[in-house]
Amino acid sequence: MNDYDPLRDYLTKQTRSEFVLSVEEIEDILGFALPRTSQRASWWETARSPQVDAPQRIAVSEGGYIATRLADGKGVRFKRQANPRGLRRPTKQSG
């Protein structure tokens, strides 16, 4: 179990292709305060440190999104992935 599973579950239910959540909204979803390191863009963005499988990044990816911290540090932009990790696109079945 990942502490960030509530965020994953929240993202999985979203139908929007892109949206922003404030830090406070994310903390409400999770039920705990984010660590100070979450103020760094690299904490959220897989592209900055792809070798690190951090639990928050895994939750966001499994939720079907890519996360980017806003420049002011007060929120995070979530953008739906074209083909989310761990999720397969439906295939046509013959017959």
Distance, in Å, from the CA atom of 34 to the CA atom of 45, rounded to the nearest integer, reads 15
pLDDT attached to residue 49: 65
Residue type, 21: L
Give the C-alpha separation, 11 to 71, whole Å: 21
Per residue in 21-57, pLDDT (tens digit) is: 999 999 999 999 999 989 888 889 877 666 667 899 9
Strands 65-69 and 75-80: antiparallel
What are the boundaries of each domain within the chain?
Answer: 5-80
Cα(60)–Cα(4) distance, rounded to whole angstroms? Answer: 8
| Residue 95 confidence (pLDDT) | 45
3-state SS, residue 20: strand
Q: Would you say 11 and 63 are in contact if contact means Cβ atoms under 8 Å apart?
A: yes
